[in-house]
Amino acid sequence: MAQVAMVMNLDKCIGCHTCSVTCKQTWTNRDGVEYVWFNNVETKPGVGYPRRYEDQDRWRGGWELDRKGRLRLRSGGRLRRLATIFSNPDLPELDDYYEPATYDFDTLISAPAGSDIPVARPRSAITGKEMKVSGGSNWDDDLAGSPLHAAQDPNLDAMTEQVRMSFEQTFMFHLPRICEHCLNPACVSACPSSAMYKRVEDGIVLVDQDKCRGWRMCVSACPYKKVYVNHRTGKAEKCTFCFPRIEAGLPTVCAETCVGRLRYIGLVLYDADAVAAAASVVDPADLLDAQRSVFLDPDDPEVQQAARAAGIADDWIAAAQASPIWQLISRHKVALPLHPEYRTLPMVWYIPPLSPVLDATTSRGADDADADDIFHTITALRIPMEYLASLFTAGDVDVVAGVLQKLAAVRAHMRRRSIDGSADSRALAGAGMSERDAEDLYRLLAIAKMSDRYVVPKAHKEDAAELASWASGCSLDGPGGPGMGGPGGGPGGGPVALTLQRRGPS
């Protein structure tokens, strides 16, 4: 199968929130979704949006393994969802997001003449009543180092000894987030109405508004909390990966307007039959390699033949071959998934941020051309590797260290190349890279043009009817639907049915 995916280079994110604003104006600039941000930029460490969404002990999102090693939703099987269908205990409230505000601008225009300057007071965009603005999707922006905000970050719960939250030692970076459009989406499996579905053509996860009945189980099941409820319509809404633009061969709005040019979009080919096994590995530290093993090499003739047999067009196969996603995830292995321990197999990956390591190496009196000195500097940078590991590798620090070492080696090599034209063989050898690997990665991360960063094939007209159809009917009323299996689930306690199935007319 083919999947549209995204990679973000966090080294380039400046926290300008342009992506959030353009997405807001395009998709959620209307009544009922005032509090909704399909794209938001968080400051880490911080509580996130909604607050502490990463605390799955509280929200019960994503998947877990039962005693027999089978996948099951953390939010529970069919019986639990039926028991709580009218009163979901794991649903975030408005206070967990924020109460959106507008302003009484008419006061500035219609106020009578007087000695006092009129003031536009904030009013709730939901109730219309006067309010005090005290929160927002980026309310903690640039305050990550303060104990008031950073100390509430769930990723710091197990790092009290490694990280000291004092102002002098604060660290921060920006984390843009959209829906992960997972290979194994918990939101789809939890939906009682089968309104949530994953398009087989490109893997984009969407909501059928005609089928949605507002049960909100999808909100609870999503561990990234990227499914929202329109309080006017009572129906679920989420990031659509700008599918009308993707079908036309264009990048998403958030990617095209990104000031830092940090987003990459492309196709990956993957083995759908291997998804369940990859999501079911016992050790969370093995989930990263398990998901990478699902992706298929688009240059392999056997993979190309299998793709054609599955109905994937030649121009899509060519797009997968030119995809920056495959290069960053599987060839160079510098992109990492966000919280792989949720077992949803997310398809928005991140290149972790690397502080100015070469300058830091020089400032401590070490040799910025020595691979060992560079590595020791990386381990002492202000962004602790333990924190990055809690975000991207289920706690495996060695994987994060390896990625940062590669990024540092590219910088050292290109510095040497620009100075005297030679290669920094020691730095490259220390990172396990060849000179060609370093220069290919430099071209992709530093100077790639738009056509290199966004490789999006157009949808075929002959697939228009398929793209317009909705998911095959499965609901809580019959066995075999999404989320039916597992203990307490469907008859016989069978395994949970993954939602990777071809759609057809209902």
Distance CA 344, CA 323 (A): 22
The whole-number pLDDT of residue 116 equals: 85
Residue type, 284: P
Beta strand ranges found along 164-316 (DSSP E): 173-177, 196-198, 205-207, 227-229, 236-238, 263-270, 295-296
The values of phi and psi at residue 359, to 5°, are -65, -40
Which tokens in the block code for residue 72? 């099951």
How many C-beta neighbours within 10 Å does residue 60 have? 18
Q: Consecutive 10-residue runs of the chain (506 residues): their mean pLDDT?
A: 97 94 95 95 90 94 93 89 86 93 87 86 91 85 65 78 57 92 96 93 95 94 97 95 96 96 97 96 96 97 96 96 96 97 98 73 59 62 82 94 90 86 82 92 95 94 59 36 33 36 37
The whole-number pLDDT of residue 141 equals: 74
Locate the domains of the chain by residue range.
355-453
The whole-number pLDDT of residue 365 equals: 62
Beta bridge partners of residue 461, listed in sequence order: none
109, exposed or middle or buried, with CB in 10 Å at 0-12, 13-18, 19+? exposed
Task: Report how far Cα 477 is from the mean position of its chain's Cα atoms.
Answer: 32
Q: Is the dihedral of CA 356, 362, 366, 368 positive or negative?
A: positive
Contact 72, 64 (CB under 8 A): yes
* pTM of full prediction above 0.75: yes
Beta bridge partners of residue 425, listed in sequence order: none
Write down the architecture of domain 355-453 according to CATH: Orthogonal Bundle (1.10)
Distance CA 193, CA 178 (A): 24
The whole-number pLDDT of residue 187 equals: 96
Which tokens in the block code for residue 15? 């926290």
Distance CA 122, CA 103 (A): 4
Closest C-alpha to 41, from 75, 82, 13: 13
The whole-number pLDDT of residue 424 equals: 75
Residue with tokens 């390591």: 357
Element (H, E) at 65: strand 63-65
The whole-number pLDDT of residue 263 equals: 98
The whole-number pLDDT of residue 416 equals: 85
